[in-house]
Amino acid sequence: TSSVAPPPASARPTQSVTASQTAPTRPTKETVVNCGVRPALGSHRIVGGVTARRGEWPWIGSLQYQRLHRCGATLIHSKWLLTAAHCLKSDPSPTHWAVSLGSVLRSGVGALVIPIQRVVIHPAFNSTNMDYDVALLELAVPAPMSYTIQSVCLPSPVHRFLKNAECYITGWGSMREGGEICSLTNLLQKAAVSIIDQADCQQSYGNVLTPNMMCAGYMEGGRDTCLGDSGGPLTCRELSGQWFIAGVTSWGHGCGRIGFPGVYTRVTSVRKWISTYLPF
């Protein structure tokens, strides 16, 4: 198959769909219990998606540069978020960065905006092939946990997210390919997607795909992450009902194109690196 080079480092929109039941993945030995829950709902990049409800995805944040949405970010601890390294490439200094939490709106009433204190880009990040496209953000003050602000669960390095398990992508990105930053949706979007077998995705992207990357979406296209959604989470629900972050939105060939699903940084590949900064 021919190799397709990743596009310039830019954010990607996601699709949203109705809140159907997600297929739970195999339970694992992770023991952190105060994560991956949605108190507001009880137990119960985006092209092709629908608007999310308040508190439905309490770990998603809008990463903002000088008060403008730049990328998505995911709360993994009261003081730490995960995002894509390429989002910060233009200015890795924390000075002008902040994250907006607790709202389905990119900005406005109900959002809690916290400045970023430290930016940690993965030391192996390769801006040419987008390998290890991940970064940690330390908040200036801890985020207060509430009905609308919660941390997602981190998988262990050996956690297995099953092929074709139904997971969700979320973000504020453009809702169509070719959308500009000015066309970003102000309401958080969500879309149900499936994890795609690595070999199948390799057929589309060739040797550009590394073991630290994973694909999700549908080979028939239609649901994907696009401009504005880079750095946001690909999350999957375990049998326990807890949500785990499987991937960080990174890149892709277009948005929602047939045969070219979205590409995500594989969180299990960087879990040990994350542990050098987090207290667990």
Q: Which residues are catalytic?
A: 86, 133, 230
Convert 162-197 to b/e letters by CB count within 10 Å (16 or more is b).
eeebbbbbbbbbbbeeebeeeebbeebbbbbbbbbe
The rounded distance, in Å, linking the Cα atoms of 62 and 79 is 15
The rounded distance, in Å, linking the Cα atoms of 188 and 15 is 10
Query: Residue 44: exposed, middle, or buried by beta-carbon count in 10 A (0-12, 13-18, 19+)?
Result: exposed
**Region class of 259: left (phi > 0), else alpha (psi between -120 and 50), else beta:** left
The rounded distance, in Å, linking the Cα atoms of 150 and 59 is 5
The rounded distance, in Å, linking the Cα atoms of 207 and 9 is 18
Positive or negative, the Cα torsion across 179, 180, 181, 185? negative
The rounded distance, in Å, linking the Cα atoms of 57 and 169 is 10
Contacts of 204 (CB under 8 A, 6+ apart): 1, 4, 215, 219, 253, 259, 260, 261
Which H or E element spans position 169? strand 166-171
Contacts of 260 (CB under 8 A, 6+ apart): 4, 204, 205, 221, 252, 253, 254
The rounded distance, in Å, linking the Cα atoms of 135 and 123 is 9
